[in-house]
Amino acid sequence: MTVSYGEFVRRGAQVLRDEKPRERAAFYFSPSNAGACKRELFLEATGRYRFEPDDILLGIMQDGETHEDLTLRQLREGGVEVVGVQAPLDLLIEDAGDAALFLAGSGYARCPVCGVGFESGVSVLHGHADALLRNPETGETEVFEHKAVSGAHFDRLTQVLEKKGFGPFFRESRRYVVQAGLYAAVLGLSEERGAEAVLFYKNRNRPEFLEVRLRYEPGEDALRFVEAHLVREGRARRLSAEPVVLARFLERLERRLRDVGQAVRMWRESGGENAFVEVLKEVRRLTSDELRECRFCEARMACARTFGGLLERQRTAERDEGERREVRPEDLGADEETHRRLEELAEQFAHLDEELKRIEKQRDEAKRELTRILDEFWEKGMLMPNDCVRLPRVRVWRTVFEREEFDRQLFEGLSEEEKEVVRRCLTSRVYSYWSCRTEAASSNPKREKRNSVAKNRMVSEFSR
């Protein structure tokens, strides 16, 4: 009989869960959730959704803590001074408004994590930075936020940052960036100077690290993306991403929290009716980045129920053509003249599309037969690469070139020994194709030849 140890693990987890149930803390704002979607914060604050990780997710979170402890030990051994671990950092919010319901002091008196108490009547955004480090070069204290992620997640973040820049990266990691930025802001305001934070991603599967350095400027209320480094295969490489500034960083954040607090108050006063919807500005057509985030959000079902099926309508709109929702002009409220004009244009488009397909098919057949005949002369050696055959109203020539593709920026960063290894590993590919153009549309064959020669010269110079 085959034994499934996974089933025994599931049973054991259930026994442990029954013996030691987890306490559910009341919802409150913190740096770790301040960057979340306002819909998600609203759902948690009103009790319509509660983040309750299962045993598998709890195991992943505990594994992340193990990675964090290991990284901090390695930093100490490497000569970096760790000033504090899980350091409490507080941001005083003077104009809290309705957000005071969920802030330390005005909303709750004692932190459920560290147990520190707060003065009644004040509104404080309270959190705990993973670590505070002493920068070995500048001697200044800076925030260190550690995130251990899967290999697939790590690769996606690296690609987004390297290919698209800090802006798309912020949308991809908004919650973490806001968290690290808040800690840097608290540190900078307390010392009346700019302060920096390092958002440190560790690949769980491979010894790779992605470091994103942020800097908060108190005088400008701006969070800047300073630089990013990728450590892979024992070598650090700076990613060439354009700098980005998040202006009015704290001002916008406080306004987000007030919006959520106001929506919660309106929901309570209206007995749970939808009066809160107008307050949450994010109830709108979602962008592709936000929609992707929604697909992985634990609150997506509660969100779809609460906000009138918004997410489901958008998922339907993104399905393939066979499953798209059909809408007629009369469904859009179009008048009779607009309706008639749309039908005329549609009929004209359909007719022209059929004619274009028929003509393109005939053109392709003529080109295939023309180049088939010229291929016979090519095989006999009577035509050479880039020879132009002049026919009535048409010119035909065959282009042949060899190209080696490589990442020159990455290549220049290698040592001479490594460059030599790369040169030996390079393979060449020969491209050969016919070009057939009418005289009116054809480009200059001499120019085409010069461009091909230039490309080949670049490859040959690299290969030497």
| 326-340 residue pLDDT tens | 667 766 667 788 888
Mean pLDDT of 182-211: 90
Other Cβ atoms closer than 10 A to 6: 8
Nearest CA to 371 out of 432, 310, 317, 443 is that of 432
User: Residue 359: inside a domain, yes or no?
Assistant: no
Single residue among 262, 283, 304 that ends a domain in this structure: 283
72-116 residue pLDDT tens: 999 999 899 999 999 899 999 988 899 998 999 888 888 888 888
Nearest CA to 142 out of 73, 192, 204, 84 is that of 84
Could you tell me if 92 and 209 lie in one domain? Answer: yes
Q: How many distinct structural domains can be found in the chain? A: 2
pLDDT recorded at residue 463: 32
Task: Reply yes or no on whether the pLDDT at 37 is more than 50.
Answer: yes
Could you tell me if 82 and 182 lie in one domain? Answer: yes
Q: Contact, 267 vs 276, CB < 8 A?
A: yes
Nearest CA to 260 out of 107, 92, 90, 52 is that of 107
Mean pLDDT of 174-190: 91
Mean pLDDT of 433-439: 71
pLDDT classification of 42: cutoffs 50, 70, 90: confident
pLDDT recorded at residue 454: 40
Name which residue leads in pLDDT, 123 or 56.
123
Backbone angles phi, psi at 236, to 5 degrees: -90, 135
Could you tell me if 271 and 132 lie in one domain? Answer: yes
Ranges of beta strands (E only) in 296-449 are 388-391, 394-403, 429-438
Average model confidence (pLDDT) across the chain = 78
Mean pLDDT of 289-294: 58
Backbone angles phi, psi at 325, to 5 degrees: -75, 130
Mean pLDDT is lowest, of 47-61, 183-197, 207-221, 236-250, for: 47-61
The SS3 of residue 211 is: strand
- Furthest-apart CA atoms within the chain: distance in Å: 95
Could you tell me if 374 and 267 lie in one domain? Answer: no
Task: Reply yes or no on whether the pLDDT at 51 is more than 60.
Answer: yes
Mean pLDDT is lowest, of 213-222, 387-396, 423-432, for: 423-432
Single residue among 221, 250, 283 that ends a domain in this structure: 283
Could you tell me if 126 and 236 lie in one domain? Answer: yes
The SS3 of residue 127 is: strand
Mean pLDDT of 60-80: 82
Task: Reply yes or no on whether the pLDDT at 176 is more than 90.
Answer: yes
Other Cβ atoms closer than 10 A to 208: 17
CA angle 85, 40, 288 (to 5 degrees): 105
Element holding 74 (H helix, E strand): helix 55-77
381 φ/ψ sector (left φ>0, alpha ψ -120 to 50, else beta):
left
Name which residue leads in pLDDT, 394 or 318.
394
Structure tokens at 430: 């020969």
Structure tokens at 277: 């919807």
Other Cβ atoms closer than 10 A to 172: 18
Q: In percent, how much of the chain has pLDDT > 70?
A: 72
pTM of the model: 0.62
Backbone angles phi, psi at 449, to 5 degrees: -65, -40
Q: Contact, 130 vs 145, CB < 8 A?
A: yes
Nearest CA to 410 out of 235, 212, 244 is that of 235
The SS3 of residue 299 is: coil
User: Residue 307: inside a domain, yes or no?
Assistant: no
User: Residue 311: inside a domain, yes or no?
Assistant: no
Could you tell me if 148 and 278 lie in one domain? Answer: yes
User: Residue 385: inside a domain, yes or no?
Assistant: yes
Could you tell me if 156 and 58 lie in one domain? Answer: yes
User: Residue 305: inside a domain, yes or no?
Assistant: no
Name which residue leads in pLDDT, 56 or 188.
188
Element holding 261 (H helix, E strand): helix 249-269
pLDDT recorded at residue 41: 87
248 φ/ψ sector (left φ>0, alpha ψ -120 to 50, else beta):
left
The SS3 of residue 390 is: strand
pLDDT classification of 295: cutoffs 50, 70, 90: low
Could you tell me if 268 and 390 lie in one domain? Answer: no
Strands 429-438 and 388-391 turn out to be unpaired
Task: Reply yes or no on whether the pLDDT at 395 is more than 50.
Answer: yes
User: Residue 137: inside a domain, yes or no?
Assistant: yes
Task: Reply yes or no on whether the pLDDT at 433 is more than 60.
Answer: yes
How far apart CA 224 and CA 177 sit, in angstroms, is 11
Q: Contact, 279 vs 258, CB < 8 A?
A: no
156 φ/ψ sector (left φ>0, alpha ψ -120 to 50, else beta):
alpha
pLDDT recorded at residue 274: 63
Could you tell me if 270 and 371 lie in one domain? Answer: no
Could you tell me if 128 and 258 lie in one domain? Answer: yes
How far apart CA 446 and CA 454 sit, in angstroms, is 12
pLDDT recorded at residue 338: 85
Mean pLDDT is lowest, of 69-78, 192-201, 411-420, for: 411-420
State the CATH number of the domain containing residue 200.
3.90.320
Mean pLDDT of 302-312: 62
Could you tell me if 183 and 87 lie in one domain? Answer: yes
User: Residue 11: inside a domain, yes or no?
Assistant: no
User: Residue 13: inside a domain, yes or no?
Assistant: no
2-22 residue pLDDT tens: 667 767 766 776 666 565 544
Domain holding 184, by residue range, is: 28-283
The SS3 of residue 54 is: coil
Element holding 73 (H helix, E strand): helix 55-77
Single residue among 250, 283, 316 that ends a domain in this structure: 283
Mean pLDDT is lowest, of 84-88, 313-317, 391-395, 449-453, for: 449-453
